[in-house]
Chains A and B, each alone.
Chain A
Amino acid sequence: MRSFVALFRKELRSYFGSPPFYFVATAFLAYAGYYFHSDLIYFITFGFGLNIMENFWQILFVDLRLVLIFAVPLLTMRLLAEERRLGTLELLLTYPLRDGAIVAAKLGACLVVVATLLAGTLVYPLLVYHVEPFAFEPLFAAYLGLLLFAGVCASYGLFISSLTDSQVLAGFLTALPLLLLWLLSWNEAAAASGTLPVVRAISLFNHFQPFSVGVIDLRDVFYFLYATGLFVWATLRVLEARQWRGRR
């Protein structure tokens, strides 16, 4: 456990001690702020008498989800690709640590960073509540949904990062499929009519929808946890590939 905590803390130090994190954090909060402002103006202009959860917060959380698609790959791209590039992975894998602990520490640290970014957006509900009180409870579901969604994106990013020693390539290959899935989740013309229902059924974007209106459906929770577990499993298999690849 001490070994896991050591690596977890080292990862957190690497995030919070590096300039790229502050660039990502600034961009994330700037975009999130922009969406908060524009969605609020839209709701104030056209949303009189409508439910604030379904007509303001839902739109904002769906937009925040989009910002996460850009932010998470920038956070995950260095996780294992950097270790490979530096050559530190071999030494790390010979310390008294299980591969699972290494993956868990890296993913855990990344999720703490994502949670920190999301915590920065808590100021929005506080501002709105100050003007017009509303029920906070549904927002817990929405934030839980964002964290679960980020968990899948981060574990996918970690998996991609384990495949290469190029951070840029890792970031690109993480962001691209996420954007493609996002596109397919709302643009019916982007997929063949036969494949659209299948894409939607497995798309993480559609599974986020209930959270954005304050509903926690255990099937969706299970879906996100399952998808995260799947990519963690795939990452472990990649690390295990040193058994037959014979390279660092």
Chain B
Amino acid sequence: MIRCEQLTKYYGSVRALEGVSFSVGAGEVAALLGPNGAGKSTVMRLLTGYVSPTAGRALVGDVDVAERPVTARRQIGYLPEQVSLYPEFTVRRYLGFVGEVKGLARRRRRAAIGRVIEQCGLGEVADRHNGTLSKGYRQRVGLAQALLGDPAVLVLDEPTVGLDPVQAVEMRELIRTLAGCTVLLSTHNLTEASALCSRVIILSHGSLVAADTAAELGRRLEGAGRLVVRIDGPPDAVAQGLSALPGVLGVERGEPDGQAGVRFVVLASNPEPVQRRLAAMAVAAGWTLLEVQVKPPTLEDLFVRLVGSEP
């Protein structure tokens, strides 16, 4: 349903995206992951026809977005990262305006507005002005306007960013109900990506580093694992020592939690030998090893391994 072929975008001489190719099948929910500046928003803007590619092409269905942007946009519902609404409009009137702009005839528009208000839980604020809504409700209105017209493809740019935990959970639940729709959502939240998406696309510095199903990407880390260790010793020296151990792919230092020692999460290609080396290092340095746990790798581990930084 969504196909990007060698998608390249330069803003002047600044490279935003280079040769990115991936596809998302009909009905799939895909996550676009990457650190800040990876090119996630650029991909979304290329798909919505907000900007045109410097090279390559983005297709929605069989429609080349750059060649026929208006036709492509009829099939897309877009929720931008910063949901901006006309403050003087009530929610219902705003949705009416969007429905009209999307070309819905009066009767179909009225039914569609009722449906998205119900679907997005906007019933109690439908007659309030956009300017008076909380961030959570604004995000819901943003999603409601994207859903108007039953688009085949939904492009959601950071749909839960800035929401409190309860609102974020509600938004995720809402996205989960969009069965049948092809969804591409960008997120920093790997738990969210794991929970919602069957396909994961990882970008870094404008290039594609991985695009596959979540299960297939998990297999790439087969044999790898994460060690959760607690060591009583000088934190900087411990972190340095852990990073230098053979077989260690990444080290993350935990925040002080009031307990003895410092907690580290170590991503290892093969946890068992690393565990032995770690114990030997602690003994040799005179540090006390308080806790060691071996856990299966997560999407976060894969991300750190592929991109080399936090999402």
Contact = CB atoms under 8 A, between A and B. Distances in A.
Nearest to A1: B103
Given A90-B80, A244-B12, A246-B14, A96 B51 contact: no
B49 interface: yes
A6 B95 CA distance: 12
Interface string A236-248: 0000001111100
A3 B52 CA distance: 22
B80 A96 contact: no
B84 A6 contact: no
B237 interface: no
A94 B88 contact: no
Contacts, number: 72
Interface string B91-126: 000000110111100000000000000000000000
Nearest to B49: A94
Interface in B1-32: 10-12, 14, 16
A93 B48 CA distance: 9
Nearest to B11: A246
A87 interface: yes
B70 interface: yes
A96 B73 contact: yes
A35 to B, nearest CB: 33
A88 B101 contact: no
A201 interface: no
Contacts of A2: 100, 103
User: Interface size class for chain B?
Assistant: 20 to 34
Contacts of B84: 86-88, 90-91
A124 B88 CA distance: 36
A17 interface: yes
Contacts of A3: 100-103
B102 A243 contact: no
A29 to B, nearest CB: 24
Nearest to A82: B86
A90 B146 CA distance: 13
Interface string B64-76: 0000001101101
B49 A17 contact: no
Interface in A81-132: 86-88, 90-91, 93-98
Nearest to B76: A94
Interface residues of A, number: 26
A187 interface: no
A7 B101 contact: yes
Interface in A199-232: none
Given A18-B88, A94-B49, A87 B82 contact: yes
A98 B103 contact: no
Interface in A11-32: 14, 17-18
Given A94-B50, A243-B52, A14 B102 contact: no
Nearest to B157: A90
B12 A95 contact: no
A90 B74 CA distance: 16
A95 B102 contact: yes
Contacts of A5: 100
Nearest to A87: B84
Contacts of B48: 94
B133 interface: no
Contacts of B11: 244-246
Contacts of A93: 50
Given A3-B101, A6-B100, A18-B88, A97 B70 contact: yes
Contact of A86 (B10, B49, B76, B86): B86
A95 B48 CA distance: 8
A37 interface: no
B228 interface: no
A86 B87 contact: yes
Nearest to A94: B48
A96 B103 contact: yes
Contacts of A10: 86, 97
Contacts of A245: 11-12
B85 interface: yes
B74 A96 contact: yes
A105 to B, nearest CB: 10
Nearest to B98: A95
A97 B70 CA distance: 6
B303 interface: no
14 contacts: A3-B102, A6-B101, A87-B80, A90-B50, A91-B78, A94-B48, A94-B49, A94-B50, A95-B73, A96-B101, A244-B10, A244-B12, A245-B12, A246-B16
Interface of B: 10-12, 14, 16, 42, 48-52, 70-71, 73-74, 76, 78, 80, 82, 84-88, 97-98, 100-103, 145
Interface of A: 2-3, 5-7, 9-10, 14, 17-18, 86-88, 90-91, 93-98, 242-246
Q: Which 9 A-B pairs have the closest CB atoms?
A: A87-B84, A246-B11, A6-B100, A94-B48, A96-B73, A6-B101, A88-B84, A96-B74, A3-B101
